[in-house]
Amino acid sequence: MTNETIAYIIDLINAGKASDVVFLRPLTPKVLFGRVWIKNEKGDIYNGNGWKMFFIRNKVDTVVAAVVDMGPDDLHVYVLPRYRKKGHLVKALTSVILPYLFATDRKEQRITFQAENALRHAQRVGFHPLSDTTAVITPASLSSNFIPHLGTISPSESQIQRIKGRINLAADLLRMARDDFESAFGEDEVWEGIDYLAREVANEAWTVRDLWQDLKKMKGEIANANTLRAETDFAVRLAEIFPPATKV
């Protein structure tokens, strides 16, 4: 992934236009983990399993930097030019991103670099040079004991509909593959199994619907409980301020 593509993805997120192809989950309020399905800055869709990326926010929640997880052998880091030399990347790497990666049983993390000042920045994070172009860090080099955990972002009705639509499309594509196969090779009972698979996939759309209904119900119950608690607290406080008159 090029720096231009990363900058394009960051711009999409900041403009609120990435929700169809970038799926974010919070690690902390300022660091997000995302599965990214963009192949390049032209907006082409990635045809693999999605990039694993971390996005770093500043104080006003603008995404200013990103880290592409290339596996234990490399991380691709990028900071928007106007936000460089402010410590956003170093702080996120040392306190959130690397602790998270090591908590997933990664024993070490290596990076490769070419820029002359890259090694100096890597050493600020805790990386130890292996050569002029590579460095490594292990959990023992981290000063933070914090282990971040992935959270979730409450879905919207439109997001649920998009998920259901994609599941139904996947089921339709399976059926199309069946028809395509039969056109090329004739009917084969082995491929009858794809009908079963398509039905199973389509059923997951109903599972999503049920999960959404359960979530809305739970939110309603929490809201009602909070309202009742607030009303009770208010009544208690009111009684403290204006105690009932004593009968004589």
Residue 59, both tokens: 């104080």
> For residue 2, which of 106, 76, 105 has the smallest C-alpha distance?
76
Query: Which secondary-structure segment (H or E) carries 237?
Result: helix 192-241
How confident is residue 7, by pLDDT bands cut at 50, 70 and 90? very high
Residue 101, both tokens: 């990666």
Q: Which pairs from 99-102 meet CB under 8 Å and 24+ separation?
A: 99/142, 99/144, 99/146, 99/147, 99/148, 100/27, 100/33, 100/147, 100/148, 101/69, 102/139, 102/142
Given a cut of 80, whether residue 237 has pLDDT beyond it is no
Listed range (49-63, 171-185, 234-248) with the worst mean pLDDT: 234-248
| Inter-residue contact 237 to 200 (CB < 8 Å) | no
How confident is residue 233, by pLDDT bands cut at 50, 70 and 90? low
Q: CATH assignment of 3-141, given 3.40.630.30, 1.10.8.100, 1.10.1740.10, 3.20.20.80? A: 3.40.630.30
Given a cut of 60, whether residue 230 has pLDDT beyond it is no
pLDDT greater at residue 165 or residue 41: 165
Q: Cα torsion at 86, 88, 94, 97 (round to 10°)?
A: -160
Q: How high is the mean pLDDT of the chain?
A: 82
Report the C-alpha gap between 188 and 181 in whole angstroms.
Answer: 9
**Structure confidence at residue 228 (pLDDT):** 52
Residue 131, both tokens: 């050569």
- Say how many Å lie between the first and final Cα of the chain, rounded: 83
pLDDT greater at residue 115 or residue 112: 112
Given a cut of 70, whether residue 236 has pLDDT beyond it is no
> For residue 97, which of 51, 143, 140, 56 has the smallest C-alpha distance?
56
| Inter-residue contact 177 to 194 (CB < 8 Å) | yes
> For residue 66, which of 84, 83, 51, 80 has the smallest C-alpha distance?
80
Report the C-alpha gap between 2 and 73 in whole angstroms.
Answer: 17
Amino acid at 241: I
Given a cut of 80, whether residue 20 has pLDDT beyond it is yes
**Structure confidence at residue 149 (pLDDT):** 85
**Structure confidence at residue 223 (pLDDT):** 56
Report the C-alpha gap between 217 and 236 in whole angstroms.
Answer: 28
**pTM tops 0.85:** no
Domain residue spans of the chain: 3-141, 157-241
How confident is residue 225, by pLDDT bands cut at 50, 70 and 90? low
Given a cut of 60, whether residue 105 has pLDDT beyond it is yes
157-185 and 192-241 helices, crossing angle to 10°: 180
HEC readout, 46-67: CCCCCEEEEEEECCCCCEEEEE
Query: Which secondary-structure segment (H or E) carries 36?
Result: strand 31-36
